[in-house]
Amino acid sequence: MSFGMCFLLFLILVSPCAAINSPPEGWRFPVESDYSGDWQAFSKDLLTPFHVGADFNGDRILDEAWILIRTRSVGWGLFVFLSQKDGKTKTIQLQDRKGDSNPQRFGIKLVLPGKYKTACGKGYWECKRGEPEEVELSNPAFEFFLYESASSIYFWDKKANTFKQIFLSD
């Protein structure tokens, strides 16, 4: 099966419209023509580097994280769509890049609950006050990474009722 057919099948089976009515105004979902650069070069390792779904906040409802592309200018953003019990979604923008880099240089992938050493815990730098050497996730999260470079985890902090980012590498 060709890449184009695989991509089309992905869009049909994992349609963003299933949980998200539409992206925020001024943004769009990646399309096949966006599948270039590192997204294409590393496609054997990660077929959909711009989308991941899981129950990030522990409410037993599927949430989604997306790398979205600007429609009116150059740039991209990292968004989470938290599904609500009433069927609506709460949109949270975690990154907003205004043309300083191509979205295809970045990816996201699922991180399962468990313990993970942080960048300072691995010795990349000395841990700052309040920066943990290890993080224990009770819910799925997602890794946000620059291909062959920096990496972090975005996870839901129940106490703060928001996402937190912790670096895994520099």
Residue 27 identity: W
Total of domains in the chain: 1
Domain that holds residue 95: 3-169
**E strand or H helix at 37:** helix 37-41
Which residues does residue 54 pair with via DSSP β-bridges, in sequence order? 63
Distance CA 137, CA 100 (A): 31
Rounded to 5°, the CA angle 88-91-97 comes to: 155
What are 139's two structure tokens?
């819910």
Confidence (pLDDT) at 45: 92
Q: What is the pLDDT of residue 142?
A: 98
What tokens appear for 167 in the block? Answer: 């670096």
- Which pLDDT does position 19 carry in this prediction? 54
How does DSSP classify residue 123? T
**What's the CA angle centered on 146, arms 145 and 152, to 5 degrees?**
30
**What would the 3-class secondary structure string for 128-154 be?**
CCCCCCEEEECCCEEEEEECCCCEEEE
Residue 60, pLDDT score:
95
Structure tokens of 43? 């496609």
In the numeric block, which tokens belong to residue 161? 């009722």
Return the pLDDT at 21.
66
Per-residue pLDDT of the chain (170 residues; tens, 9 = 90+): 444 444 433 433 344 434 576 899 999 999 999 999 999 999 999 999 999 999 999 999 999 999 999 998 899 999 999 999 998 999 999 999 997 889 999 999 999 999 999 999 999 999 999 999 999 999 999 999 999 999 999 999 999 999 999 999 98
